[in-house]
Amino acid sequence: MKHSLLIALAGLGLLAAASPLPTAAAAATTTASAPRPALTVSTTQPRRESLARRLPANGSVAAWQEASIGSESSGLRLAEVLVNVGEQVRAGQLLARFADDSVRADLAQARAALQEARAALAQAQANAERARALSATGAMSQQEILQYTTAAQTAQARVAASQAQLEAQQLRLKHTRVLAPDAGVISARLATVGAVAGPGTELFRMLRRGRLEWRAEVGSSDLPLLRAGGRAMVTAASGAQVEGRVRVLAPTVDAATRNALVYVDLPEHPDIRAGMFARGEFVLGQHEALTVPLAAVVVRDGFSQVFEVGADGRVLMRRVQTGQRNADRVEITTGLTPEARVVQQGGAFLNDGDLVRVAPSDSAQKQLAAPVK
């Protein structure tokens, strides 16, 4: 009897000793089957900011007004050219000079002809006065008196013609000097020393007052948003950025493109030149916007996406519409709520439904690392 009881107790002991083994194996199996996080991420929430509302546009830089300076002389040789391309000139400055020897000779001849005509006029007037004085005595006929009076009037007309000829020669002499019609910058030089230029030949081209403007193309639907005097930020090809002011909006719209030109006055800048392409933005005012870090937006298949972290630790891919950028943040116009928690960085390595582990924020880490008082 005692022997049977000992055998039974020994069997129970063996069962009790073997019972922990299935429990440990089950725990190991459970741990192995549990899903592992795909990535450890930090999260952020959208932030409301006051952003400047902007209207992007493209266009060309052109001269505010361009002056064509030509020759008004005929058959004269260009003796001297005093300016080159890129030089600043003032109004009335001498730009070029034609050889004036022949013109001065003609001018001297005109002066002599005028003096001769004045002498002839004086003699004719004296003869006419004597004839009128003798008309009462009857010593001269009325026909002879009329001839002297007519001769005096003819001499007066010849003086006027000689005076006009002298003024014409003086004008020719003035035209031998090519002067700047206004202050500005010489943009083209066609004048060549020694060339014989005909009347109307272009010698120089000048940007009046050095003023440039940006001619931006804006859709007809966006024109009501713009006003004269508004600000515009223009970016050159070199990356240089200048602030301009809207001067005027074109009164017509291109029937083919449905775009209108907006003329923006630009300040002087070494990287801004006439003829170059430039892009820019019109500043339309301030507005409240929802923004996220630029790194939180992932572009896939041509669409912008953000990954929202759910309560179960899985991410949901949200398609969003982005607006303008402000430094390292981007505006979200649709597709996201202000309360959402989105993956701040590393979304390019995630897929919809992935399990992630959320890293504690910097403030939480600082609290954990702080010593207990």
Domain total for the chain? 4
Which residue, 27, 52, 67, is CA-closest to 243? 52
Which residue, 235, 251, 310, is CA-closest to 43? 310
Q: In this structure, are 225 and 342 located in the same domain?
A: no
Neighbour-count burial of 247, counting CB atoms closer than 10 A to its CB (0-12 exposed, 13-18 middle, 19+ buried): middle
- 134-149 burial, b if ≥16 CB within 10 A, otherwise e? eeeeeebeeeebeebb
| Per-residue confidence (pLDDT) for residue 82, from 0 to 100 | 95
Distances (CA, A) of 60 to 9, 196, 217, 225, 227: 101, 36, 9, 21, 20
Q: In this structure, are 237 and 331 located in the same domain?
A: no
Q: Is residue 368 part of a domain?
A: no
Q: In this structure, are 199 and 89 located in the same domain?
A: yes
Average pLDDT rounded to a whole number, residues 272-282: 93
Which residue range(s) make up the domain with 128? 100-175
Q: In this structure, are 77 and 198 located in the same domain?
A: yes
pLDDT at residue 372 is higher than 60:
no
Q: Is residue 13 part of a domain?
A: no
CATH number of the domain encompassing residue 59: 2.40.30.170
Digit-coded pLDDT (tens) for 142-180: 888 888 889 999 999 999 999 999 999 999 999 999 999
Q: In this structure, are 213 and 244 located in the same domain?
A: yes
| Per-residue confidence (pLDDT) for residue 163, from 0 to 100 | 95
pLDDT classification of 139: cutoffs 50, 70, 90: confident
Contacts of 364 by beta carbon, 8 Å cutoff, 6+ apart: none
Question: Which strand ranges, in their side-by-side order, compose the sheet holding 66-70?
Answer: 66-70, 202-208, 184-189, 88-89
Digit-coded pLDDT (tens) for 42-99: 999 999 988 878 899 999 999 999 999 998 888 899 999 999 999 999 999 999 999 9
| Per-residue confidence (pLDDT) for residue 361, from 0 to 100 | 61
Of the candidates 271, 286, 301, which is a domain's last residue?
Answer: 286
Q: Average per-residue pLDDT in the chain? A: 85
Q: Is residue 214 part of a domain?
A: yes
| Per-residue confidence (pLDDT) for residue 371, from 0 to 100 | 43
Coil vs helix vs strand at 117 = helix
Average pLDDT rounded to a whole number, residues 256-269: 94
Q: In this structure, are 115 and 166 located in the same domain?
A: yes
Using only the alpha carbons of the chain, give its radius of gyration.
47
* DSSP category for residue 352: T
